[in-house]
Amino acid sequence: MGAEDHTRHGTEHREHHLHFSVLGPVRAGRGDHALAMGSPQQKALLTALLLRGGRTATAEELIDAVWGEDPPEQAKAALRTYASRIRKALGPDADILVSESGGYAIRTGPDAVLDLDTAHDLAVRAEKAASCGDRAQARRLYNHALDLWDGEALAHVPGPYAETHRARLEEWRLGLLEHRLDLDLQTGSHAEAVSELTALTAAHPLRERLRELLMLALYRSGRQAEALAVYADTRRLLADELGVDPRPELAELQQRILEADEELAYQADAPITAAAPTFTRPAQLPATVADFTGRASFVAELSDQLAEADGTVMAVSAVAGIGGVGKTTLAIHVAHGAADRFPDGQLYVDLQGAGASPAEPSAVLGSFLRALGTPDSDIPEKLEDRSALFRSLLAGRRILTLLDNAHDAAQVRPLLPGTGSCAALITSRARMVDLAGAHLVDLDVMSPEEAMALFSRIVGAERVAAERKAAMDTVAACGFLPLAIRIAAARLASRRTWTVATLSSKLADERRRLDELQAGDLAVKATFELGYGQLDSEQARAFRLLGLTDGPDVSVPAAAAVLGITHDEAEDLLESLVDTSLLESAAPGRYRFHDLVRLFARACAERDEQPPAVRTAALERLLDFYLSTAARMFAINRAGDRTVDHLARVSGQGLEFTDWNASVDWLFAEADCLLSCVKQSAATESRRKAADLLIAAKDLADSGIHSLRYEQSATAVRDAAIDAGDKVTEARARLMLTHTYTVAGRFPLAEAEAQQALDLARATGDPLASSYAPNDLGIIKTYQGSFQEAEVHLGHAVAAFREDGNLPSEASALCNLSRVHAALGQHSEAIELAQQGLAIYQKMGSTIRMANARYTFGCALARAGRTQEGLAELERARALFHETRQMRWEGVTHFRIAEALLMRGEAGRAASHAEQALALRAIGGEWRRGTVLVALGKALAEVGQAGRSEACWNEALSIFEELGSVEAEEVRALLTTLTH
């Protein structure tokens, strides 16, 4: 394409697409329609982004660019506003302005042209034309490039960044002009050049190259005296202004003019020779490690990708992952394995992307060009020119380029070959989602098997086999991170007196673990520090504060609470940390740290988040978020329950739910994190809130899945409250332990906790504990068969709930009392009490709690001999429990239906319901499982399956004996019947 074709093509392109101008006043347009780019500061932001060639600018860099050392107080907010307005102005092309890593970038492309890029392209083509001897074409291309200037570059754009680049662009324009004027002289246009050079030397009197060209133009125009006068004037000016002599080239030209050197005269047929470049085959790959272990699937995947470099498609693979995960080791291993497919050589560079000063692409290209045989004198100055020459040298050849430790895609783009026969393999901590056409590979930690294999190869198989459990504990403490495993193994290998258990015990202390994981110049902490150093201030703060939390992961709303920012701001920050590989995306909307990275984040928080109250406040915000949200869930599930009125007040706002299902989804999704927050808060001044969070989230104790962790958290709060002498918190924590032990059938423990909770309630007057403690004692005594005591306790509970105005809990206590009377054979009283509870729930419109009342009513009817009515109520209760996802109570209801069917002599149906109760698993712990097994055994015995019946009863007996339950005696009697 000729220069005219290029111009015509560019014009056609601009008629339909977005175009930006910086070689003059900063403008944007679409075709002939100008786009309003707003205030000068807004244009300064646009300028700073356009001139970065697609690379991301952090918020701090942009603030410096727009305002320098005196930014306004709300500079970041202003940046966001400017970015939003620019997107609005860009309309359908708004997506070229992207937000990432806490900053912004503009990604121009085929549909968004920058005049500066066009000028660079023209200049590169002009240099090529000149080097090939086509002076006329080179002149035309330089002229087209210069025509793109419309006055002063970046005119009227404020800020230090624009000022710096204004000077740079003017310097480049003058350089292009000098090249074109030089070609004017080479093509015989010396007479015409004199006037232009005279004006330019007047405007730029200290620019010696212009004076050199003016001297030559004058000499070739037959004006020798004037040419010598220019030299004299230059010498005088330089001496006066700078105190220096003219450069040697200028002095040499003066001497040649004095001597009337014939070679200075214009020679139309003088050829421009260009030396044919020599090509050198590079072999720069570092040595692969001898003990490379595992990673078979990744090796195969990357090898297959490199095999696609078949001359039509350039293979580019980008491996991302946390520092120390083995990206470089994997890439080098794969590159060596594929080397024979690239007979023209392999290039390698460490781009130092994780450090404070990533390698400049221009310097890397210079190194590559030298490695390929290009003399220094032939290496162009500009990045674009070097990149073009690099692609030209690789055209038609098969070369593999390994770009290790890249900072971002913008650093990599100029270094990519342009031919399908070549391939590039990239490693980076950042995921290069913006590297078009790249095959992305996310490298995770090793599997336990791979980790043990690597540890064994370094330490020795015999030594590891003798202490396999300690070895597994060691690699687990290393988080299965290859670097950490190598360091730990190297330390052990160099200390023959250590056992594997010695090393394992050293790594068991989390606060010392990172300090232990260093050997020689290798250190896990130093690797993480490099990544941390790349974060901007907002990212670094988020990294530190989120590392303080104990949960296995964190949701976006919870992270927003920790950081004290909005949901959208938190999501942007979390995603930017994922891009740096310091955080992992566990699932949509959830994020997690690698174990060692979390330890590092906490160390950073202790070091950088001062005073300590800042860290305390972050965890307090998280606790408030969980308590506020759980309280709202509790209120939806138990409409009208006064319990939430007695919970601690919080400063933050939690989530709001529109229906019960959404609230339960949230509770079980957040269960592990919520319970971790409780346990973490137990030993702080926030222990009362921690206890109340357990109350609001008590459904977790019923789940079976989370029961153990719930118990551990409640125990931690109770013990911390005892140490602090906090009787109200102690009572509430004991209530939750009571509930946990009761669900599990550990009635002696439950009774002890409930009794102490009641004693504390009487001492403190806490209305919540004063009502719940007697209710729980009544339930426990019912299970233990102490019905008179149960009746007394439950009577106190009903009175306490009534006094508190807690209608739903009063109804619950009435239902509990109904079960006592049913057990005592007082069937009419049992039915009446169940109906009273049911009436309260019906009056309040409580669908969820209605199931409990119907369950009780059904049990009372069945006990009274009204089995058909009882079964109908129990089935209604079961359907409600299923609908509201109360698995524990759905299972218990299946059990009660089985009991009622046994009373009717329908053993087959009874066995089916008992089996369904067991299938739900979460039916209330081992004690409840034992009772269901007893019922199933009875049903099976009646249908003639004595063998299965005996197995059920033996399993139930083992459960009851282990728990010390009175039911063991009943089961022994049942087993005796089988032997007779």
The answer on pLDDT for 875 being more than 60 is: yes
| pLDDT over 80 at 310, yes or no | no
pLDDT-based confidence at 629, cuts 50/70/90? very high
Average pLDDT over residues 403-428: 90
Reported confidence tier of residue 893, pLDDT bands at 50, 70, 90: very high
User: What's the pLDDT band for 16 if we cut at 50, 70, 90?
Assistant: low
Tell me the mean pLDDT in the region 555-567. Answer: 95
Spatial distance between the Cα atoms of 395 and 277, rounded to a whole number of angstroms: 13
- Amino acid letter, 8: R
Residue 301: phi, psi to the nearest 5? -65, -45
Spatial separation of the C-alpha atoms in residues 794 and 772, rounded to whole Å: 10
More confident position, 420 or 894: 894
pLDDT, tens only, 936-971:
999 998 888 988 899 999 999 998 888 888 888 999
Question: How many helices and strands in the chain, by DSSP H and E?
Answer: 45, 17
pLDDT at residue 274, rounded to an integer: 39
Going by CATH, does the domain composed of 296-442 fall within 3.40.50.300?
A: yes
Local confidence band at 570 (pLDDT 50, 70, 90 cut-offs): very high
List, for residues 220-262, the tens digit of each pLDDT value. Answer: 888 888 888 888 888 888 888 878 888 888 888 888 888 888 7
Percent of the chain scoring above 90 in pLDDT: 40
The amino acid at 569 = E
Query: What pLDDT does residue 318 have?
Result: 92
User: What angle, 0 to 180 degrees and rounded to 10, lies between the N-to-C axes of helices 727-744 and 707-724?
Assistant: 150
**Which tokens in the block code for residue 4?**
């005219």
Helix, strand or coil, per DSSP, at residue 576: helix
Is residue 741 within 8 Å of 749, Cβ to Cβ? yes
Name the one residue in this structure whose structure tokens are 């955080």.
583
Residue-level pLDDT at 120: 81
Query: What mean pLDDT is predicted for residues 509-531?
Result: 83
Q: Which of 17, 21, 22 is nearest to 91 (CA)?
A: 17
Q: Is 271's pLDDT higher than 60? A: no
- In this structure, what are the phi and psi dihedrals at residue 98, rounded to the nearest 5 degrees? -110, 150
Q: Lowest-pLDDT range, 272-281, 587-596, 609-618, 628-637?
A: 272-281
Sequential DSSP letters for 846-857: -HHHHHHHHHHH
**Which of 264, 165, 284 shows the shortest CA–CA distance to 221?**
264
Could you tell me the residue ranges of all domains in the chain? 1-188, 296-442, 448-520
Residue 826 DSSP label: -
Q: Let me know: does 13 contact 113? Beta carbons within 8 Å.
A: yes
**Residues 174 and 196 sit within 8 Å (Cβ to Cβ):** no
For residues 888 and 923, is the Cβ–Cβ distance under 8 A?
yes
Q: What is the pLDDT of residue 398?
A: 87
What percentage of residues in the chain have a pLDDT greater than 70?
Answer: 95
Q: What's the CA gap between 270 and 65, in Å, rounded?
A: 48
Task: State which amino acid sits at residue 320.
Answer: A
Mean pLDDT of 624-643: 90
Q: What is the pLDDT of residues 693-751, one digit of tens each?
A: 999 999 888 766 788 899 999 999 999 999 999 999 999 999 999 999 998 888 999 99
Helical ranges in 26-114 per DSSP H: 40-50, 59-67, 75-90
pLDDT in the model for residue 778? 96
pLDDT bracket for residue 15 (50, 70, 90): very low
pLDDT of 109? 65
Render pLDDT for 643-678 as a digit per residue (tens, 0 to 9).
999 999 998 789 998 888 889 889 999 999 999 999
pLDDT (0 to 100) of residue 707? 85
735: number of Cβ within 10 Å: 30
Is the peptide bond between 557 and the residue preceding it cis, with omega within 30 degrees of 0?
A: no
Lookup: tokens for 816:
């509990």
Cα dihedral value 642, 644, 650, 654, nearest 10: -130
Query: How far, CA to CA in Å, does 847 sit from each of 272, 844, 852, 969?
Result: 93, 9, 10, 39
The model's pLDDT over 597-620, given as tens digits with 9 standing for 90+, comes to 999 999 999 998 888 999 999 999
pLDDT higher than threshold 60 for residue 277: no
Q: Using one digit for the tens of pLDDT, what is the confidence trace for 169-227?
A: 888 888 889 889 988 888 888 888 888 888 888 888 888 888 889 888 888 888 888 88
Alpha-carbon distance of 869 to 69, in angstroms, equals 82
Candidates 3.40.50.2000, 1.10.10.10, 3.20.20.120, 3.10.580.10; correct CATH number of 1-188? Answer: 1.10.10.10
Q: What is the mean pLDDT of the chain?
A: 87
Average pLDDT over residues 412-439: 87
pLDDT of residue 892: 92
Q: Which pLDDT belongs to residue 846?
A: 67
Q: Cα angle vertex 226, ends 225, 232, to 5°?
A: 90
Please determine, for residue 313, whether its predicted confidence score (pLDDT) is greater than 80: no
The DSSP H or E segment spanning 35 is strand 33-35
For residue 425, give the nearest of 285, 280, 576 by alpha carbon: 285
Q: What is the mean pLDDT of residues 574-589?
A: 87
* pLDDT score, position 312: 57
Decide: helix, strand or coil at residue 812: helix
pLDDT band for position 544 (cuts 50, 70, 90)? very high
C-alpha to C-alpha distance for 736 and 732, rounded to whole angstroms: 7
H/E stretch holding 708 reads: helix 707-724
Residues 142-169 have pLDDT tens digits of 999 999 999 899 988 888 888 888 888 8
